[in-house]
Amino acid sequence: MSNGEFDVIQRYFTASKRPRRKDVIVSIGDDCAITEHSRNQRIAITTDTMVENTHFLPTIRPADLAYKAAATNLSDLAAMGAEPAWFSLALTLPKIDSLWLDEFSQSFFEVLNHYNVDLIGGDTTKGALHVITITAQGIIPKGKALCRHSAKVGDWIYISGSLGDSAGGLALLLRENGATTKSAVENVSISSLNEYDCRYLIQRHLRPTPRVLLGFELAVSSLANAAIDISDGFLADLTHILERSQCSAVIHLEKLPLSASLIKVFGAQQAERFALTGGEDYELCFTVSEHNRAKLERALMHMGVAYTCVGQIHGFNPHHKKRLRFQRDGQLVELVDTAGFDHFR
Amino acid sequence: MSNGEFDVIQRYFTASKRPRRKDVIVSIGDDCAITEHSRNQRIAITTDTMVENTHFLPTIRPADLAYKAAATNLSDLAAMGAEPAWFSLALTLPKIDSLWLDEFSQSFFEVLNHYNVDLIGGDTTKGALHVITITAQGIIPKGKALCRHSAKVGDWIYISGSLGDSAGGLALLLRENGATTKSAVENVSISSLNEYDCRYLIQRHLRPTPRVLLGFELAVSSLANAAIDISDGFLADLTHILERSQCSAVIHLEKLPLSASLIKVFGAQQAERFALTGGEDYELCFTVSEHNRAKLERALMHMGVAYTCVGQIHGFNPHHKKRLRFQRDGQLVELVDTAGFDHFR
Show which of A90, A106, A141 is a domain's final residue: A141
Q: Does residue A31 share a domain with residue A89?
A: yes
Query: A120 with A189, same domain?
Result: no
Residue B147 lies in a domain: no
Please answer yes or no on whether A4 and B49 come within 8 Å at the CB atom: no
Domain boundary among A101, A117, A141: A141
B185 and B55, same structural domain? no
| Whole-number Å distance between alpha carbons of B244 and B240 | 6
C-alpha count within 13 angstroms, C-beta hemisphere, residue A171: 25
> Which of A45, A68, A76, A93 is best to mutate for the B interface (most B CBs within 10 A)?
A45
Of A35, A48, A131, the CB nearest to B127: A131
Number of separate domains in chain B: 2
Contact list, A29 vs chain B (CB under 8 Å): 148, 244
CB contact under 8 A, A34 and B229: no
In this structure, the answer to whether residues A128 and A191 fall within a common structural domain is no
Say whether A46 and B244 touch across the interface (CB within 8 A). Answer: no
Q: pLDDT digit string (tens) for B246-288?
A: 999 999 999 999 999 999 999 999 999 999 999 999 999 999 9
A165, A259: one domain: yes
Residue B146 forms part of a structural domain? no
Tell whether A34 and A100 lie within a shared domain: yes
**In this complex, do A36 and B26 lie within 8 Å of one another by their Cβ atoms?**
no
Nearest to A92 among B36, B51, B135 (CB): B51
pLDDT of residue B181: 45
The predicted pLDDT at position A179 comes to 57
| A284-288 sheet: strands from edge to edge | A224-229, A284-288, A156-160, A307-315, A247-252, A324-328, A331-333
Handedness of CA B137, B138, B143, B145 (dihedral sign): negative
Q: Say which residues have a Cβ less than 8 Å from residue B83's Cβ, sequence separation at least 6.
A: B77, B138, B139, B140, B212, B216
Interface test with A, best of B7, B31, B45, B245 (most A CBs within 10 A): B31
Shortest distance between the Cα of B317 and any Cα of chain A, in A, equals: 22
Tell me how far CA of residue A100 lies from CA of A17, A50, A89, A96, in angstroms: 17, 16, 16, 8
CATH number of the domain where residue B23 is located: 3.30.1330.10
Quick one: A173 and A214 in the same domain?
A: yes
pLDDT tens digits for range B165-200: 999 999 999 888 775 444 445 556 777 778 899 999
User: Among all residues of chain A, which has the CA nearest to that of B82?
Assistant: A32
What b/e sequence results for A242-255 when a residue is b if at least 16 CB atoms lie within 10 Å of its CB, and e otherwise? Answer: bbbbebbbebbbeb
Quick one: A27 and A136 in the same domain? yes
Q: Are residues A319 and A170 in the same domain?
A: yes
Q: What residue spans of chain B are helical by DSSP H?
A: 6-13, 62-80, 98-114, 165-176, 195-206, 212-220, 234-245, 260-277, 293-300
Residues B109 and B17 placed together within one structural domain of the fold? yes
Q: Which residue in chain A is spatially nearest to B140 when comparing CA positions?
A: A34
> Shortest Cα distance from B288 to chain A (angstroms)?
18
Q: What is the CATH number of the domain that holds A257?
A: 3.90.650.10
Residues in A closer than 8 angstroms to B120, CB to CB, are 45
Low-confidence ranges of chain A (pLDDT < 50): 1-4, 180-184, 340-345
Q: Which residues of B are annotated as a binding site for ATP?
A: 122-123, 148, 231
Q: Is the complex ipTM higher than 0.95?
A: no
Q: What's at A179, amino acid-wise?
A: A
- Is B167 within the bounds of a domain? yes
Domain range holding B128?
6-141
Return all residues near A175 (Cβ < 8 A) that are at least 6 apart. Answer: A185, A190
**Nearest chain B Cα to A120, which residue?**
B45
Let me know whether A108 and A34 are in one domain: yes
Of B110, B141, B172, the domain-final residue? B141
Backbone CA torsion sign across A67, A138, A299, A282: positive
> B88, A47: Cβ pair inside 8 Å?
yes
Annotated binding site of A: 31, 46-48, 55, 76, 122-123, 148, 229, 231-232, 280, 341
* Three-class DSSP labels, chain A: CCCCCHHHHHHHHCCCCCCCCCCEEECECECCEEECCCCCEEEEEEEEEEEECCCECCCCCHHHHHHHHHHHHHHHHHHHCCEEEEEEEEEEECCCCHHHHHHHHHHHHHHHHHCCCEEEEEEEEECCCCEEEEEEEEEEECCCCCECCCCCCCCEEEEECCCCHHHHHHHHHHHHCCCCCCCCCCCCCCCCCCHHHHHHHHHHHHCCCCCHHHHHHHHHCCCEEEEEECCCCHHHHHHHHHHHHCEEEEEEHHHCCCCHHHHHHHHHHHHHHHHHHCCCCCCEEEEECHHHHHHHHHHHCCCCCCEEEEEEEEECCCCCCCCEEEEECCEEECCCCCCCCCCCC
Strands B284-288, A156-160: pairing is: unpaired
Say which of B8, B31, B43 has its CB closest to residue A35.
B43
B76, B82, B244 member nearest A1 (Cβ) = B76
Mark yes or no for CB contact B121/A89 under 8 Å: no
Closest-CA distance, B260 to chain A, in angstroms, reads: 28
Kindly report the number of other CB atoms within 10 A of residue A339's CB atom: 13
Residue A58 in domain:
yes
Q: Is the CB of B47 less than 8 angstroms away from the CB of A121?
A: yes
Asked whether residue A51 is assigned to any structural domain, the reply reads yes
User: Are residues B170 and B131 both part of a single domain?
Assistant: no
Going residue by residue through chain B, which has 345 residues, state the pLDDT in tens, using 9 for 90 and above.
344 455 676 678 876 566 689 999 998 888 999 999 988 899 999 999 999 998 998 889 999 999 999 999 999 999 999 999 999 999 999 988 989 999 999 999 999 999 999 999 989 999 989 999 999 999 999 999 999 999 999 999 999 999 999 999 999 998 887 754 444 455 567 777 788 999 999 999 999 999 999 999 999 999 999 999 999 999 999 999 999 999 999 999 999 999 999 999 999 999 999 999 999 999 999 999 999 999 998 888 888 899 999 999 999 988 877 899 999 999 999 886 555 444 443
In a domain, A253, yes or no: yes
Using an 8 Å Cβ cutoff, are A196 and A238 in contact? no
Enumerate the residues of chain B whose CB falls inside 8 A of the CB of residue A149: 30
List the single residue in A with minimal CA-CA distance to B234.
Answer: A3
Q: Which residue of A has its CA nearest to B31?
A: A76
Sheet holding B24-26, edge to edge: A118-126, A83-93, A131-141, A41-51, B33-35, B24-26
Q: A–B: how many Cβ contacts below 8 A?
A: 257
Give A54→chain B minimum CA distance, Å. 7
Cα separations in angstroms, A236 against A231, B27, B147, B204: 9, 20, 45, 45
For residue A339, is it within any domain? Answer: no
> Residue A1 domain-assigned?
no
The CA distance from A207 to B44, in Å, is 32
